[in-house]
Amino acid sequence: MSFVRDAFKMLGIDKPKSHAIFYKNGLKRFGSDFIDLMEIINSRNGGSFVDPYEKKNKSLELSIYVGSFFNYTKWESIFTWLEKENIDQPRKILDLGCECGITTCLLALMWPESEIIGIDACGPAIKCANNLSEYLNLKNIRFINCNLDKFSLSGSKFDLIFASFLTHEWLATNRVSPLINVDMDIKLENVKIKQTELIYVEKLATICNLLSTDGLFITIDRIPLIYGQYWYIKAAELAGLKFSIAKSYKIETKDGSESEKFPVNVFQRRKDDDRETHIDEVISLASFKNIPPLDLEDDIAEAFFRSFNKQEILFNSSIKYIDGSGVRYISLFRCGPILMRYDWTSLGYKHLLTFPLISLAEALNDCHTIIDQLDSIAEINSEITVAGLELLKSWGYSMNSVND
């Protein structure tokens, strides 16, 4: 069994049933507490600003029951991804906005040797979190009831700061967050952190100050448009963090017929030679490597290839068939946020394939796979160009992960 399924079982997190069964059983188990809470949740969905956390955490059972219904697939996707990431055991972990401690306990089960602190502004939630960690007999967790804006732990540095579905609340004024509140008329080139938004930069700077040198700040939230994503990266980088293209991800949750995607943004402390994340990178990131490629052959491939504004060559190869039957060229070009592989021969074969720019490492591996298969029948010259190497390095890739 996977870590996630085992851990969910220990925590009593069940796969959600249909809405009707959830409602019927909730009513049976929790009576008016359940009705009160659902009213608040429904009015929040309708746009009102009521805080649901006190009522939700009236008891640990109610909190887990309702939380599981709304968050099961989110927690499942996040922790499945985290498990696959194979992050070195962090010495110290901070879970921001931990609520009733589900995410904190999952982190503690994943890394039993780590020292973990969970923080939340809601008193009843912290009480539930303490009950949950006691029930699981987890000795490596401590919970603090505190508003993040007042939080300080002098001298403490964390190797992992985790914030799941906190930021849209924490980086908000009167519940309106720049992550969600978008103005479609603004061009990304004109996105600026406004004077009134500097308060959020200060908040993010406190995170930066709490991170150890190579520590990770992993933040998952609902950020529906590229505007919010770009704003967030810009604000975090102004606060001294650096967005990691290589480590970031996007989770997809499916509840019934509804599917939603949430970016998992990973930041580290900015190093001296780090540059700001570019708009093209953020646009290309929106796809999280999942856009279907444009896959063209023959003259239309050449027509597209010639009409793109090719800015940089990132990979080049020439493949000379030993039997003298011709030469094949495979190259990777960058065109803004799009990466293009053009593969053609002197005999008229033409093939064009597009990728999002951030898939450069995968696109290079694909090129190497094609080339490796031709090794015994051709003389091959290939290179990742300086521009390609610099791009990969700036994204935090080690060159071992991209074979040359």
Ligand X SMILES: C[S@@+](CC[C@H](N)C(=O)[O-])C[C@H]1O[C@@H](n2cnc3c(N)ncnc32)[C@H](O)[C@@H]1O
Residue matched to tokens 């188990």: 29
Given the complex with ligand X, which of 158 and 170 has the nearer CB atom? 170
Q: Verify binding: residue 120, ligand X, rule CB under 6 A.
A: yes
Given the complex with ligand X, which of 76 and 280 has the nearer CB atom? 76
The whole-angstrom separation of Cα 4 and Cα 109 is 10
Q: Are the C-beta atoms of residues 315 and 383 closer than 8 Å to each other?
A: yes
Q: Verify binding: residue 152, ligand X, rule CB under 6 A.
A: no
Q: Verify binding: residue 71, ligand X, rule CB under 6 A.
A: yes
Name the DSSP class of 15. P
Q: Verify binding: residue 288, ligand X, rule CB under 6 A.
A: no
Q: Verify binding: residue 147, ligand X, rule CB under 6 A.
A: yes
Within 10 Å of residue 134's Cβ, how many Cβ atoms?
A: 11
Collapse the DSSP code of 338 into the 3-class scheme (helix H, G, I; strand E, B; otherwise coil) and give the result. strand
Please say whether the dihedral angle defined by the alpha carbons of residues 70, 71, 77 and 78, taken in this order, is positive or negative.
Answer: positive
The whole-angstrom separation of Cα 270 and Cα 190 is 23
- Retrieve residue 243's tokens: 């967005």
Q: Verify binding: residue 141, ligand X, rule CB under 6 A.
A: no
Q: Verify binding: residue 121, ligand X, rule CB under 6 A.
A: yes
| Contact track, ligand X, 159-178, x by CB under 6 A | -----xxx--xx--------
Q: Are the C-beta atoms of residues 239 and 230 closer than 8 Å to each other?
A: no
Nearest distance from C-beta of residue 161 to ligand X, angstroms: 12
* Upper half-sphere CA count for residue 16 (Cβ side, 13 Å): 22
**Cα–Cα distances in Å, from 316 out to 194, 336, 348?**
43, 18, 19
Reference 400, options 102, 380, 392, 152; nearest CA is 392
Given the complex with ligand X, which of 74 and 368 has the nearer CB atom? 74
Size of the site for ligand X (CB under 6 A): 20
Nearest distance from C-beta of residue 233 to ligand X, angstroms: 21
Given the complex with ligand X, which of 71 and 114 has the nearer CB atom? 71
Given the complex with ligand X, which of 172 and 226 has the nearer CB atom? 172
Q: Verify binding: residue 397, ligand X, rule CB under 6 A.
A: no
Given the complex with ligand X, which of 42 and 147 has the nearer CB atom? 147
The whole-angstrom separation of Cα 230 and Cα 192 is 10
Q: Residue 171 contacts by C-beta under 8 Å, 6 or more apart in sequence? A: 177, 178, 179, 200, 203, 204, 232, 235
Nearest distance from C-beta of residue 29 to ligand X, angstroms: 20
Stretch that binds ligand X, among 158-166, 193-201, 289-297, 364-372 (CB under 6 A): 158-166
Q: Verify binding: residue 98, ligand X, rule CB under 6 A.
A: yes
Residue nearest to ligand X (CB): 97
Reference 182, options 222, 225, 219, 220; nearest CA is 225
Q: Verify binding: residue 125, ligand X, rule CB under 6 A.
A: yes
Element (H, E) at 335: strand 327-335
| Contact track, ligand X, 20-59, x by CB under 6 A | ---------------------------------x------
Given the complex with ligand X, which of 143 and 170 has the nearer CB atom? 170
Q: Verify binding: residue 217, ligand X, rule CB under 6 A.
A: no
Q: Are the C-beta atoms of residues 140 and 114 closer than 8 Å to each other?
A: yes
Nearest distance from C-beta of residue 268 to ligand X, angstroms: 21
The whole-angstrom separation of Cα 35 and Cα 259 is 26
Stretch that binds ligand X, among 97-105, 235-243, 252-260, 305-313 (CB under 6 A): 97-105
Given the complex with ligand X, which of 232 and 333 has the nearer CB atom? 232
Given the complex with ligand X, which of 101 and 337 has the nearer CB atom? 101
The whole-angstrom separation of Cα 287 and Cα 240 is 26
Given the complex with ligand X, which of 143 and 342 has the nearer CB atom? 143
Q: Are the C-beta atoms of residues 184 and 118 closer than 8 Å to each other?
A: no
The whole-angstrom separation of Cα 314 and Cα 326 is 24
Stretch that binds ligand X, among 30-38, 117-125, 231-239, 322-330 (CB under 6 A): 117-125
- Retrieve residue 102's tokens: 């589900």
Q: Verify binding: residue 403, ligand X, rule CB under 6 A.
A: no
Q: Verify binding: residue 156, ligand X, rule CB under 6 A.
A: no
Choice from 148, 153, 225, 335 touching ligand X (CB under 6 A): 148
Q: Which residues bind ligand X (CB under 6 A)?
A: 53, 71, 97-99, 102-103, 119-122, 125, 147-149, 164-166, 169-170
